[in-house]
């Protein structure tokens, strides 16, 4: 008798559970969770999230000159007569190295077609010629114009979400693993009701730090604060991001590790002036002083230097009495340790074309 009662109780319980599950409706979800905790189509939060995960095409601008699309690797290009296979973003440095080899040549890059491009919405298109590519490039924002994508913050995946499907009255669960899946998820929000994200989630800021986000409202604020908080590098100047990880400490260690730096290039107002400083040697000291020697060391002049800022915005200021061609608040462009030539290179720029490059081959 007890066994029969247990069976009846079990079956009754199962009927109750099945009834509860099958009767879950949108009205239930409108009470739990509250509307302010749901992700609404075309809401500010949804638009911001979509801008975060939009395909960013700026990393390969050295090839296609377009931030609104990217080229699918591998791709073969011929750079100033040298054929390269580009397998990933790291290989783009090989193109830049060839471009930077000489300052007085005309750089060229020829793409071997067909290639596949990826648009901002992750649509892929096969391209068979320069003309076809140019048609898509012309649809992009102009060089240096701010586009809609937000590159100064990223989502840390996976992220899970839930949604109510009105057609079959089922609660669906989503696991989102990358930007492509998140883009499609947000694009399809109108197909569902009462969409919620399983908080907390983690976002990654431009400086590499992470932040925990606990609700929809906080997510919108965090993304909005991150927008334009970093250099998104949407322009076509491939040479303006060579010091992303530079710090003033790195600059100090680099420039003071050896004596007798010499000027390899000095351009002011389209005039090449490096020949005026042949056999001049510059020694930068850790106390922010510097000494210039020339005429085989018989002539000397003291001055000062300083470095402030970070990344691609480090200002390197030089002040040497009587050296007006060199004195300026320069922007640090690149630090390079050239193992092939056993040279250290320290490149500064200011204005549109003014350039000062120190080299040293005494300490490698």
Q: Residue 46 belongs to what domain range?
A: 24-53+151-226
Query: 327 and 254, same structural domain?
Result: yes
User: Average per-residue pLDDT in the chain?
Assistant: 85
In a shared domain, residues 68 and 130: yes
- pLDDT range class, residue 5, cuts 50, 70, 90: very low
pLDDT tens digits for range 64-92: 999 889 999 999 999 999 999 999 998 99
Q: Could you tell me if 259 and 356 lie in one domain?
A: yes
DSSP letter at 257? S
Look at residue 246 in the predicted model and tell me its pLDDT: 85
Q: What is the pLDDT of residue 95?
A: 93
Q: Is 266's pLDDT higher than 50? A: yes
Beta bridge partners of 337: 344
Tally of CA atoms within 13 A in the half-sphere of 310 that contains its CB? 4
pLDDT cut 90: percent of the chain above it: 64
My answer on whether 44 and 67 are in the same domain is: no
Residue 29 lies in a domain: yes
- Residues 266 and 342 placed together within one structural domain of the fold: yes
- Determine, yes or no, domain membership for 143: no
What is the 8-class DSSP label of residue 102? -
Is the per-residue pLDDT at 20 higher than 60? no
Closest CA to 350 of 313, 305, 302, 319: 313
pLDDT tens digits for range 330-339: 999 888 886 5
Q: Looking at the structure, tell me whether residues 324 and 259 fall in a common domain.
A: yes
Is 177 within a domain? yes
Tell me the three state secondary structure of residue 62.
helix
**Domain match, 108 and 183 both:** no
- pLDDT of 16 over the 50 cut: no
- Average of per-residue pLDDT across 279-300: 97
- Average pLDDT on 278-294 reads 97
Sheet containing 75-79, strands listed edge to edge, beginning at the edge strand earlier in sequence? 82-86, 75-79, 109-111
Q: Tell me the whole-structure pTM to 2 decimals.
A: 0.67
Dihedral sign for Cα atoms in the order 36, 37, 40, 46? positive
Report how many domains make up the chain: 3
Peptide bond into 212 cis (omega under 30): no
- What is the per-residue pLDDT for 200? 97
Is residue 70 included in any domain, yes or no?
yes
Is residue 207 scored above 90 in pLDDT?
no
- Name the phi and psi angles at 184, rounded to 5: -65, -35
Q: Which residue has the tokens 């109108």?
A: 190
Per-residue confidence (pLDDT) for residue 96, from 0 to 100: 87
Predicted pLDDT at 364: 62
Examine residue 31 and state whether it is found in any structural domain, yes or no.
Answer: yes
Q: Please tell me the predicted confidence (pLDDT) of residue 29.
A: 44
| Angle (nearest 5°) at CA 302 between 252 and 256 | 20
pLDDT band at 237 (very low <50, low <70, confident <90, very high): low
- For residue 117, what are its two tokens? 């491009």
pLDDT digits (tens, 9 = 90+) for 111-163: 999 999 999 999 999 999 999 999 999 988 655 455 678 989 999 999 999 99
Q: Please tell me whether residues 120 and 73 are part of one structural domain.
A: yes
DSSP element (H, E) containing 344: strand 343-350
C-alpha to C-alpha distance for 138 and 65, rounded to whole angstroms: 10
């Amino acid at each position: 008798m007890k066994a029969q009662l247990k069976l009846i109780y079990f079956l009754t319980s199962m009927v109750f559970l099945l009834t509860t599950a099958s009767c879950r409706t949108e009205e239930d979800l409108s009470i739990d969770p509250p509307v302010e905790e749901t992700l609404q189509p075309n809401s500010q939060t949804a638009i911001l999230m979509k801008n975060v995960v939009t395909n960013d095409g700026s990393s390969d601008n050295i090839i296609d000159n377009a931030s609104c699309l990217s080229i699918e690797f591998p791709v073969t290009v011929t750079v100033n007569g040298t054929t390269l296979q580009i397998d990933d973003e790291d290989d783009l440095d090989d193109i830049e190295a060839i471009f930077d080899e000489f300052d007085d040549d005309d750089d060229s890059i020829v793409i071997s077609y067909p290639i596949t491009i990826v648009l901002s919405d992750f649509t892929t298109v096969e391209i068979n010629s320069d003309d076809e590519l140019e048609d898509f490039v012309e649809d992009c924002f102009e060089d240096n114009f701010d586009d809609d994508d937000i590159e100064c913050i990223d989502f840390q995946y996976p992220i899970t979400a839930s949604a109510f499907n009105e057609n079959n009255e089922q609660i669906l669960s989503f696991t989102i693993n990358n930007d492509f899946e998140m883009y499609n998820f947000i694009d399809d929000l109108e197909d569902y009701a009462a969409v919620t994200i399983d908080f907390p989630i983690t976002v990654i800021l431009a400086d590499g730090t992470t932040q925990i986000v606990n609700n929809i409202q906080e997510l919108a604020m965090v993304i909005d604060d991150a927008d334009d908080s970093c250099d998104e590098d949407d322009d076509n100047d491939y040479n303006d991001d060579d010091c992303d990880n530079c710090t003033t400490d790195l600059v100090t260690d680099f420039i003071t590790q050896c004596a007798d730096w010499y000027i390899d290039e000095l351009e002011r107002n389209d005039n090449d002036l490096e020949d005026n400083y042949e056999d001049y040697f510059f020694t930068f000291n850790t106390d922010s002083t510097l000494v210039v020697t020339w005429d085989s060391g018989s002539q000397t002049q003291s001055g000062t230097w300083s470095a402030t800022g970070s990344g691609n915005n480090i200002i390197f200021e030089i002040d040497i009495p009587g050296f007006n061609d060199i004195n300026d608040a320069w922007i640090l462009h690149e630090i390079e340790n050239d193992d092939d030539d056993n040279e250290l290179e320290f490149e500064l720029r200011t204005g549109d074309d003014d350039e000062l490059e120190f080299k040293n081959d005494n300490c490698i």
